[in-house]
Structure 1
Amino acid sequence: MIRPLLPAFIALLAALPAQAQVMADPDVVAAFLQDYGLKPQPGTDDQGDPMLSSSVDDTKFDVYFYGCTKARDCSSVAFSAAFLTPEPLKYAVLNSWNQKARFGRAYVDGDGNAVIEYDVNLDKDGVGGKNFTDTIDIWRSLLDDFRTHINW
């Protein structure tokens, strides 16, 4: 009885839509950013690893790729934006942000700029497409909230 049902079961499985997995591949991440309505520009960082540059709501940001082997097969990405403020932000302002923000972290870099970053693990099987679109939503929200927090 099981044997006649096996072909029907296999056909049913084949008909199910495959969930797109987002890996730490610059082309895949760029495609998701484009689908979101952003305009990513490919490049490389100081270590020769891939990176993407884009902007959201007039705020420039970069997506850095980490854990790469020969500038390929990366394991994670970090969204990053720097804010050139007239004076370095007080640590209390950044500490307040870091205490309240669930995602992302903020700090002052060596040049005195305020920086916000958001790390995303895409190793092994990656994440589903809907999850990564939500990741972009979270990044956009983080930028908006951070701009408000620092009175940008």
Structure 2
Amino acid sequence: MKSVALIAAGLLAFQAAPAAAEMVMAQDPESLVKAMQAEGYAAKLGTDKLGDPMITSGASGTAFRIFFYNCKENKDCATVQFSSGYDFKEALPLEKINEWNSRNRFGRAYLDKENDPVLEMDVDLDDGGMSRELFIDNVEFWTIILGNFERHIGYRN
């Protein structure tokens, strides 16, 4: 009877290991890159101006970045932020950004110092991260928000 219990315990341990390996964590930027690439997204790991990790990617012809925050000495980060900025010849009215923010719960927008629109979305990957599936769901959600925002600001039809 003990051998059956030992075999069952061994099988449970074996099944739990792949689940842990499938976690996406800001402490391991490569885990985000691998998850995105496995789903067909371009994802290139680099660093930002402060030396923190940064991923460059894109969707539907729009480039975006994933910045890492709450890092300790450019490692062991806790959160990420999806970000995309736009360069308009004419300044976008602040009312257009305020309208977006008042009607949309996800995807915070603002005007940068040149009055160009920026869209951001934060994702908390602290305390063990999240499953690969949930992270990819967030990436897909971000791409939907990105498209909706671009239509809202007149960047795409």
Regarding TM over 0.5, the answer is yes
- 2:148 equivalent in structure 1: 145
Shift of 1:50: 1.1
- Unaligned runs of 5+ residues in structure 2 are none
Shift of 1:8: 4.2
Query: Does the 8 Å CA contact 2:54/2:67 hold for their aligned counterparts?
Result: yes
- 2:54 equivalent in structure 1: 51
Shift of 1:75: 0.3
- 1:23 equivalent in structure 2: 25
Query: Does the 8 Å CA contact 2:56/2:66 hold for their aligned counterparts?
Result: yes
Equivalent pairs counted in the alignment come to 151
In 2, the alpha carbon distance for the partners of 1:43 and 1:111 equals: 26
In 2, the alpha carbon distance for the partners of 1:85 and 1:57 equals: 19
Q: 1:1-152 alignment to 2 at 5 Å?
A: 6-16=5-15, 18-19=18-19, 20-24=22-26, 25-152=28-155
In 1, the alpha carbon distance for the partners of 2:60 and 2:72 equals: 33
Could you say what secondary structure the match of 1:69 adopts? Answer: coil
Shift of 1:65: 0.5
Query: Does the 8 Å CA contact 2:23/2:31 hold for their aligned counterparts?
Result: no
In 2, the alpha carbon distance for the partners of 1:23 and 1:15 equals: 21
Shift of 1:112: 1.7
3-12 or 103-112, which moves further after superposition?
3-12
Query: Does the 8 Å CA contact 1:65/1:78 hold for their aligned counterparts?
Result: yes
Shift of 1:15: 4.7
Instruction: State the TM-score, normalizing by the size of structure 2.
Output: 0.88
Letter in 2 for 1:14: A
Letter in 1 for 2:25: M
Identity within the alignment, %: 36
Instruction: State the TM-score, normalizing by the size of structure 1.
Output: 0.91
In 2, the alpha carbon distance for the partners of 1:136 and 1:46 equals: 23
Shift of 1:5: 5.4
Could you say what secondary structure the match of 2:113 adopts? Answer: coil
Give the ranges of 4+ consecutive aligned residues of structure 1 lying more than 4 Å apart after TM superposition. Answer: none
**Relative to 1, partners in 2 of residues 1:4 and 1:52: Cα closer, same or farther, differing over 3 Å?**
closer
